[in-house]
């Protein structure tokens, strides 16, 4: 299932009315007079809600239709949520080192004082009843989220002394077994004490739609004496479908955040559960991928599809529910991140992102991005989905260099099946279903030929059992037609399967009424108990229909006299493993990265790495109605960068267990510099484009490459980045001045300034516009166990000359070396070109730094 099929709102409307004084206005059917500071409502609220003019704005905003809206501070018909950051320090101050951060009782007292100051501040500036404070942020940010009932309130707050930054809330969207072996995770489990201990002592924060604690992927540990890691201070908030015993050793903490959704009226406690319970399925799926229990039976529709494990089966899960079937809001997500870091998590997995690029001088400065920078400063690795906007260029929705942004790939697991016709044709098809019983050939009938109307689409798309003639359908395999443009309306398939079962048919073949040109391998799939097959290849579809037509006798009016065509549907639930290399999935968002809403290109590589995200089995919530065809099931097979992200989060947990002192930047470096860019035979990895076209993958498709867990645990060399260097990076972003950086992070630009964004010590080099020459330096640290000599090998991008010095060096464990990489434009072009610097050590380590350069111009001599 591609994430795009999960219901969510990607754009909102802004309810708008004129605002004037001392006049009677007939706007949207509402009669009111503005009399000083109040509004006299002369017609009913119901009339307003039925006649309001909705204007779509480019920047997502909130809709909240309530009588209270009209009793607002100053004549507004809408209310909004704003996130306000104060000048005061949070608990984790940018001024303090990690050793000097407040902890324990001191931190708790400071948090209470900051929360009280937020309340006093709001009471001082805004009238009672004109606002509602939703959250106080105190750990990474000092600020609050407020639901204000007029725009004037926002203007008052933005101009108030002590306010550093105010940002309107924006919508967030979700980006929605065998894979531990495929990426090599299971191969390193023995080094970490076995599968059940791999990730032990590490807490992964899942900021998602919650979790179903009764799913077998999250059962309590076999060693019941295990307690949460000592550094974790989180708590378990029980509630609807989430009893206190839900925190059982595997789940060590659980909270939920929905105040923005409540303020907009979208949160419904009956549907969405006022607890950490997952009403959607998405959060359970991602949690099981990151850290689900080892060797869990995956049973769906009564069939055992095998056994699943998370990447780090021994890691603990802390659940921060901040997304829902309707999507989510940044203010809720920021509250979740703030709490997660305060609780002491080690990794944050975020399979969601804003639905638009924030306004302002740089995408790196929106409130969530800067908060995640502060999480990184606190030692927490942040893993985020790159997005599902591919294959369009610059479609990534995770921007900053301190975040590991994950692309999605396929695996070599395939579910293949066939149907056999009476004439001996074997037609390739898809469908996770059982076969028709025995080796019997079953009569084949087009749905339109066995329906009452007996005309084109007389079967009503196989959605209504009443239109079928029971005596004609029983015991037959029915051909149901879809329209390829409606393929992602998966309730259509659920309706088809349900209808065919109800009418007593032996099975169903689903094919395209018109084009028949869909690649089944890249479409959502789901298990069924009814023998079913999807024939989506154009040639196979035409052969099937030709065979049916040649063996169906009709009268002069076109009615069927005899059904002579027969078929048999084969088993389709057994996976095969081809050993094929991973491919970049077509929906996986692409680079180049952008700096701002004007789509100016950034000197930051995105995505960073690629992991399996296509057709991934994981836990599911049986109460979810997001996918009607699997309602009531405990497992689902989904696709998206939402699925690839927790793969990397789990791998990060393994690395942190093995190397507890490594910083988030060192862990990202280990993952990127050891990623695979070729298969075992040396062939380059490929990326899928539109309509099935395949091209060689570039760093803008797959980042540094496909994650390789064994090598990431032993990378030889790593690159590190300090918080101060991240500030230098922000201050080097074009269009960003000292004031903008101070508003965003509360810190001024360091006295020593970076000239270019490329000066940041990342495990890649991206230059969005190379004019003449540029020198960049990369500082590497040895994490090997002995002295090692490295030699530098260069594959230069087209139109660029690359020189690396030193080209050979010997480094001892714990020592650092500086590489100078000089790039010169030799042939200006009109696109990026790609290359690499590879450091090969004599102890078998290989460190790869990808290059992405746009050779813009040659400087005159």
C-alpha span between 8 and 329 (Å, rounded): 12
251 phi, psi to nearest 5 deg: -90, 120
C-alpha span between 302 and 304 (Å, rounded): 7
DSSP string, 841-861: ETTS-EEEEEEEEEEEEPPP-
Residues forming beta bridges with residue 27, ordered by sequence position? 30
CA distances from 406 to 382, 668, 701, 704, 835 (A): 11, 11, 10, 10, 20
| Torsion angle in degrees (nearest 10) through CA of 118, 124, 125, 126 | 90
C-alpha span between 415 and 413 (Å, rounded): 7
Sequence-ordered alpha helix ranges (H) in 423-490: 470-473
Positive or negative: CA dihedral 308, 311, 314, 317: negative
Beta strands in 250-390 (DSSP E): 251-256, 296-300, 303-308, 316-321, 323-324, 327-329, 347-350, 352-354, 381-385
Could you say which of 3, 12, 169, 208 is catalytic? 208
Where is 413: in which H helix or E strand? Answer: strand 413-414
C-alpha span between 791 and 825 (Å, rounded): 24
Which residues neighbour 26 within 8 Å (Cβ) at sequence distance 6 or greater? Answer: none
Q: Is 701 a catalytic residue?
A: no
Q: Is 642 a catalytic residue?
A: yes
By residue count, the chain amounts to 861
C-alpha span between 267 and 366 (Å, rounded): 25
Could you say which of 363, 451, 589, 642 is catalytic? 642
CA distances from 233 to 197, 339, 729, 860 (A): 21, 10, 33, 61
CA distances from 802 to 656, 770, 848 (A): 34, 12, 15
Q: 145, 157, 140, 123: which is closest to 260 by C-alpha?
A: 145
Q: 215, 86, 101: which is closest to 143 by C-alpha?
A: 86
Could you say which of 139, 282, 285, 614 is catalytic? 282
Cβ count within 10 A of residue 227? 10
Beta strands in 571-622 (DSSP E): 576-577, 583-584, 609-612, 616-619
**Inter-residue long-range contacts of 726-730, CB under 8 Å, 24+ positions, other chains counted:** 726/373, 726/376, 726/401, 726/402, 726/760, 728/752, 728/753, 728/754, 728/759, 728/760, 729/401, 729/754, 729/757, 729/759, 729/760, 730/362, 730/364, 730/365
Burial of 644 (0-12, 13-18, 19+ CB in 10 A): buried
Where is 56: in which H helix or E strand? Answer: strand 54-56
Q: Which residue has the tokens 């020459």?
A: 773
Residues forming beta bridges with residue 803, ordered by sequence position? 822
Q: Are strands 846-857 and 765-771 parallel, antiparallel or unpaired?
A: parallel
What letter would DSSP give residue 578? -
Q: In what order do the strands lie in the sheet with 143-148?
A: 131-137, 143-148, 80-86, 163-168
Residues designated catalytic: 208, 282, 642
């Amino acid at each position: 299932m591609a994430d795009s099929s999960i219901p969510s709102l990607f754009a909102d409307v802004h309810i708008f009315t004129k605002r004037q004084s001392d006049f009677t206005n007939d706007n949207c059917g509402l009669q009111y007079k503005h009399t000083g500071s109040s509004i006299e409502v002369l017609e009913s609220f119901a009339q307003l809600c039925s006649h309001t003019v909705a204007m779509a704005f480019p920047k997502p905003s909130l809709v909240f239709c309530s009588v209270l809206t009209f009793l607002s501070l100053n004549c507004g018909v809408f209310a909004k949520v704003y996130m306000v950051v104060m000048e005061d320090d949070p608990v984790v101050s940018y001024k303090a080192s990690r050793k000097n951060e407040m902890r324990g009782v001191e931190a708790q007292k400071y948090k209470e004082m900051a929360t009280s100051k937020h309340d006093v501040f709001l009471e001082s500036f805004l009238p009672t009843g004109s606002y509602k404070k939703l959250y106080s942020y105190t750990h990474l940010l000092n600020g609050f989220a407020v639901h204000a009932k007029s725009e004037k309130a926002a203007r008052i707050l933005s101009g108030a002394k002590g306010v550093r930054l105010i940002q309107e809330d924006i919508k967030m969207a979700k980006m929605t077994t065998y894979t531990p072996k495929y990426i090599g995770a299971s191969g390193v489990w023995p080094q970490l004490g076995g599968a059940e201990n791999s990730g032990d002592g590490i807490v992964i924060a899942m900021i998602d739609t919650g979790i179903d604690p009764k799913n077998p992927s999250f059962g309590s540990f076999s060693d019941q004496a295990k307690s949460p890691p000592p550094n974790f201070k989180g708590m378990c908030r029980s509630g609807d479908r989430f009893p206190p015993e839900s925190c059982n050793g595997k789940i060590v903490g659980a909270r939920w955040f929905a105040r923005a959704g409540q303020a907009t009226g979208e949160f419904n406690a009956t549907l969405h559960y006022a607890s950490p319970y997952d009403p959607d399925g998405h959060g359970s799926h991602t949690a099981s991928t990151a850290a689900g229990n080892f060797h869990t039976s995956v049973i769906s529709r009564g069939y055992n599809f095998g056994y699943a494990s998370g990447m780090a089966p021994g890691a603990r899960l802390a659940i921060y529910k901040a997304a829902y079937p309707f999507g989510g809001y940044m203010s809720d997500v920021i509250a979740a991140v703030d709490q997660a870091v305060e609780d002491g998590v080690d990794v944050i997995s975020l399979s969601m992102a804003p639905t638009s690029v924030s306004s302002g001088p740089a995408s790196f400065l929106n409130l969530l991005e800067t908060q995640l920078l502060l999480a990184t400063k606190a030692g927490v690795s942040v893993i985020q989905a790159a997005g599902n906007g591919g294959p369009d260029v610059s479609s990534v929705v995770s921007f900053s260099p301190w975040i590991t942004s994950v692309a999605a790939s396929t695996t070599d697991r395939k579910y293949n099946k066939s149907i056999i016709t009476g004439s001996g044709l074997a037609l390739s098809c898809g469908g996770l279903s059982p076969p028709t019983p025995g080796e019997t050939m079953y009569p084949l009938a087009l749905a339109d030929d066995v329906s009452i109307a007996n005309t084109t689409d007389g079967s009503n798309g196989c959605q209504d059992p009443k239109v079928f003639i029971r005596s004609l359908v029983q015991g037959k395999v029915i051909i149901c037609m879809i329209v390829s443009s409606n393929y992602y309306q998966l309730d259509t398939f659920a309706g088809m399967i349900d209808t065919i079962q109800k009418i007593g048919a032996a099975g169903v073949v689903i094919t395209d009424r018109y084009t028949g040109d869909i690649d089944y391998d890249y479409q959502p799939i789901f298990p069924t108990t009814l023998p079913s097959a999807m024939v989506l290849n154009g040639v196979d579809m035409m052969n099937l229909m030709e065979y049916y037509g040649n063996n169906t006798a009709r009268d002069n009016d076109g009615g069927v006299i005899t059904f002579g065509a027969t078929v048999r549907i084969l088993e389709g639930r057994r996976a095969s493993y081809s050993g094929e290399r991973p491919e970049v999935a077509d929906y996986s968002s692409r680079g180049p990265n952008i700096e701002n809403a004007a789509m100016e290109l950034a000197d930051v590589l995105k995505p960073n790495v690629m992991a399996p995200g296509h057709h991934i089995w994981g836990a599911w919530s049986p109460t979810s109605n997001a996918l009607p065809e699997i309602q009531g099931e405990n497992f689902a097979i989904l696709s998206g960068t939402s699925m690839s992200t927790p793969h990397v989060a789990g791998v990060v947990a393994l690395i942190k267990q093995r190397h507890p002192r490594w910083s988030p930047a060192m862990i990202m470096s280990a993952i990127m510099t050891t990623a695979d860019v070729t298969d075992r035979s040396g062939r380059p990895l490929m990326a899928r484009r539109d309509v099935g076209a395949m091209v060689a993958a570039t760093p803008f498709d797959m980042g540094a490459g496909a994650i390789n867990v064994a090598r990431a645990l032993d990378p030889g060399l790593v690159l590190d980045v300090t918080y101060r260097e991240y500030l230098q990076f922000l201050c080097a972003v074009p269009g960003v001045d000292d004031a903008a950086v101070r508003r965003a992070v509360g810190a001024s630009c360091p006295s020593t300034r970076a000239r270019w964004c490329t000066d940041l010590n990342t495990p890649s080099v991206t230059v969005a516009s190379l004019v003449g020459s540029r020198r960049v330096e990369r500082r590497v640290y040895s994490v090997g166990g002995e002295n090692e000599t490295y030699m530098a090998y260069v594959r230069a991008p087209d139109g660029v000359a690359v020189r690396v010095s030193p080209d050979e060096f010997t480094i001892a464990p714990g020592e650092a070396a500086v590489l100078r990489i000089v790039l010169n434009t030799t042939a200006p072009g009109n696109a990026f070109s790609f290359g690499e610097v590879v450091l090969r050590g004599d102890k078998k380590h290989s460190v790869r730094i990808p290059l992405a350069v746009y050779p813009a111009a040659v400087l005159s001599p």
